Amino acid sequence: MPTFGSLVKSNWTCLVENLTTTSNIQGCEEQAGVLMKKLHYFVGNESWQKIVSNLSIEQKETLERITENVQVEQNDSKTGNGVLRSSAKPQSGGERRLRYGIIPSVVCALIAEENDANQRIAGLEKMKQVVDQITTEEISRLVPHLHSYLLMLSNVLEDLNFKVLYDSKKKFQNHFQVVVLALDIVRATAHHLKQHMEAHIQQFVNLVAKHFGNQKSVIKQIIMMTFMELFQNINPKTVGGCLRVYLENKNSRVREEVINIYTASLMTISPSKFNLQPLVNILVPMFHDPKKRVRLAAFEQLSVLAYLLNGKTEIIMKAVRDFEQDQKIRGLVEAVTARIRRQLLPRIRYDGLIEYSTPPMMDSFDLAESEMSLPSNADLSWIVSNGGVEPDPFERTMSPLSLAGNLASIRRNRMIQQGEKPVMGTTQQPAQQPQRPHLNGIEKSHEAVEIGSELNQKMMITRMKSDDSFVRRQGSG
133 lies in some domain: yes
Residues 54 and 103 in one domain: no
Helix (H) or strand (E) holding 78: strand 77-78
Residues 106 and 67 in one domain: no
Helix (H) or strand (E) holding 340: helix 332-342
Look at residue 2 in the predicted model and tell me its pLDDT. Answer: 53
For residue 360, pLDDT beyond 60: yes
295 lies in some domain: yes
Phi, psi of 161 (to 5 degrees): -110, 5
Residues 18 and 71 in one domain: yes
Least confident of 14-23, 120-129, 163-172: 163-172
For residue 261, pLDDT beyond 80: yes
| pLDDT range class, residue 362, cuts 50, 70, 90 | low
Instruction: Determine the structural domain holding residue 143 and report its residue range.
Output: 97-211
Look at residue 365 in the predicted model and tell me its pLDDT. Answer: 63
Residues 66 and 28 in one domain: yes
> Given 39, 62, 85, which residue is the final one in a domain?
85
Residue 387's CATH number? 1.25.10.10
What is the number of other CB atoms lying within 10 angstroms of the CB of residue 98?
A: 18
436 lies in some domain: no
238 lies in some domain: no
Percent of all residues in the chain with a pLDDT value above 70, rounded to a whole number:
67
Residues 73 and 108 in one domain: no
* 122-131, 353-362, 377-386: which is most confident: 122-131
The DSSP line for 253-298 is: HHHHHHHHHHHHHHHHS-GGGS-HHHHHHHHGGGGG-SSHHHHHHH
427 lies in some domain: no
Q: What is the pLDDT of residues 128-163, one digit of tens each?
A: 999 999 999 999 999 999 999 999 999 888 864 344
> Given 85, 114, 133, which residue is the final one in a domain?
85
Exposed/middle/buried for 256, CB within 10 Å: 0-12, 13-18, 19+? buried
Q: Which of 433, 437, 415, 436 shows the shortest CA–CA distance to 424?
A: 415
CA–CA separation, 252 vs 12, rounded Å?
64
Residues 384 and 276 in one domain: yes
Give the chain's domain count. 4
Residues 73 and 131 in one domain: no
352 lies in some domain: yes
Average per-residue pLDDT in the chain?
A: 76
> Given 55, 85, 115, which residue is the final one in a domain?
85
Residues 263 and 380 in one domain: yes
For residue 439, pLDDT beyond 90: no
CA–CA separation, 349 vs 99, rounded Å?
38
* 18-27, 99-108, 112-121: which is most confident: 99-108
Strand partners, 427: none
| pLDDT range class, residue 304, cuts 50, 70, 90 | very high
Regarding predicted confidence, which is higher, 124 or 117? Answer: 124
Do 311 and 272 touch, CB atoms closer than 8 A? Answer: no
Residues 123 and 79 in one domain: no
Residues 284 and 381 in one domain: yes
Q: Return the sign of the alpha-carbon dihedral for residues 177, 178, 179, 182.
A: positive
237 lies in some domain: no
Do 471 and 360 touch, CB atoms closer than 8 A? Answer: yes
- The C-alpha torsion from 186 through 188 and 191 to 193, rounded to 10°, is -70
CA–CA separation, 450 vs 307, rounded Å?
43
| pLDDT range class, residue 52, cuts 50, 70, 90 | confident
431 lies in some domain: no
Least confident of 1-15, 33-47, 170-184: 1-15
Residues 257 and 378 in one domain: yes
Residues 373 and 463 in one domain: no
Phi, psi of 406 (to 5 degrees): -65, -45
